[in-house]
Amino acid sequence: MLARLSNTKALHWLGRQLLNRDNPAGYFDPLAEAINPMWVQEYTPARVENIINETADTKTFVLKPAKRWAGFQAGQHVNICTDIKGVRRTRTFSLSSSPLLWQSEGQITLTIKRLPGGLVTNWMHDALQPGDVIGLTEAFGEFLIPEPAQPVLFIAGGSGITPILSQLQTMAAEDYRAPVTLLYYVRTQNDVIAREALQALAARWPALSLTIIATNESDEPRYLRDSDLETVAGIKAREVFLCGPKGLMDLATDLLAKRGLKEKQMHSTFFAPPAQASLNSDQLGGEVTFSNSNLKVGSEGGANLLEIAEAAGLKPQYGCRMGICHQCSCRKTSGIVVNRLTGKVSGPGEEPVQLCVSVPQGPVALNV
């Protein structure tokens, strides 16, 4: 195992020195892609097997990744990468299928809602066809089913149901015995994603209690209420999983806290960028040293470390660019950075930072 790791590090070092690529085999990707897109090495290629219309603005993409893909755990995310008008685009999406589908059929699903004005989601809805190939990263994320089994409450809004679908299908297949409640909020009953799958789960899995609530089918919006939580038996002992619009998640967190649930009982994952903290740009900026690249770059204002690196011609790894996926994490060896989401100021010493949400406050050195 040690030898394998050492060889991998050596290949990454060689690729960076000679080809500016982590994987030297990726140097031949343009030729491989022209012959067979599934031979690409720089990322895991995945062929589109089928596309299913879920609602008027949501589709499920059934993908078959190359066999070298490592798989995933229910509730995790994946970055997809694709070329749109000659520019490589990367976005983060939750996996909506159970890992059992990958293990048995070699397939996964991404259930994706069209984002008004969104570049990648609109392209996937309008242009992606069965037989096309897109790229995948390995799966990541800590939005995972409790082990050992514990009572669970899921609160989902709109397309926030996608990672929860993966979890519910997995829990049902594994005969999860603890009580499970899903409160699913949608604008109208026509906006329910995977309605038939959810109803089938509730019919065959006694542990699941399913409630679907339409918020915009009456004169007054009908959002999450404290009375909804009253119906959840033993709520103080539940592990709670939240995924949906920020307003729903904030409201749920507040109501749950008032009922005595601890912060450690509540788990959340975003499908939209969290709000950013207000920062004083006059106090930000400074010289950034990219130690591994022997490069020093000056910066001013509120540019984050990822933007600074890319402006200098570097190509560090990244995913969501929103502080969610942690794919751009690297080690800061010295200097102070400010997290643009939380406003938190780091210490001056060595620690991991996320490039996409970290803004330098004075000189900073990074292992990039």
**Average pLDDT over the chain, rounded to whole?**
86
Global pTM value: 0.74
Lowest mean pLDDT among 30-44, 51-65, 222-236, 330-344: 30-44
Q: What percent of the chain has pLDDT over 90?
A: 60
Check whether 90 has a pLDDT greater than 60: yes
Kind of pairing between the strands at 358-366 and 288-290: parallel
pLDDT band at 19 (very low <50, low <70, confident <90, very high): very low
- CATH superfamily, with its number, for domain 43-136: Translation factors (2.40.30.10)
Please write the tens of the pLDDT for every residue from 172-185.
999 999 999 999 99
Fold that domain 152-268 belongs to in CATH: Rossmann fold (3.40.50)
Distance CA 149, CA 239 (A): 10
pLDDT band at 32 (very low <50, low <70, confident <90, very high): very low
DSSP structure class, residue 307: H
- How much is the pLDDT for 240? 97
Q: What percent of the chain has pLDDT over 70?
A: 85
The tokens describing 38, both together, are: 């599934």
Rounded to a whole number, what is the largest CA-CA distance in the chain? 66
User: For residue 148, what are the CA distances in angstroms to 144, 171, 264, 344?
Assistant: 12, 12, 16, 34
Q: Indicate the residue type of 339.
A: N
The ranges assigned to domains in the chain are 1-35, 43-136, 152-268, 281-366
Q: Which CATH class is domain 281-366?
A: alpha beta
Closest CA to 115 of 164, 63, 50, 159: 159
Please write the tens of the pLDDT for every residue from 135-172.
998 898 889 999 999 999 999 999 999 999 999 999 99
The tokens describing 96, both together, are: 């909506």
CA dihedral for 81, 129, 46, 24, sign (positive or negative)? negative
Same topology for domains 43-136 and 152-268, yes or no? no
Check whether 323 has a pLDDT greater than 80: no
Check whether 9 has a pLDDT greater than 50: no
Average pLDDT over residues 98-116: 95
Check residues 31 and 120 and name the one with the higher pLDDT.
120
182: how many CB neighbours lie within 10 A of its CB?
23
Average pLDDT over residues 192-199: 96
Residues 6+ apart with CB under 8 A from 129: 48, 51
153: how many CB neighbours lie within 10 A of its CB?
25
CA dihedral for 259, 263, 264, 267, sign (positive or negative)? positive
- How much is the pLDDT for 38? 57
Closest CA to 273 of 238, 203, 311, 324: 324
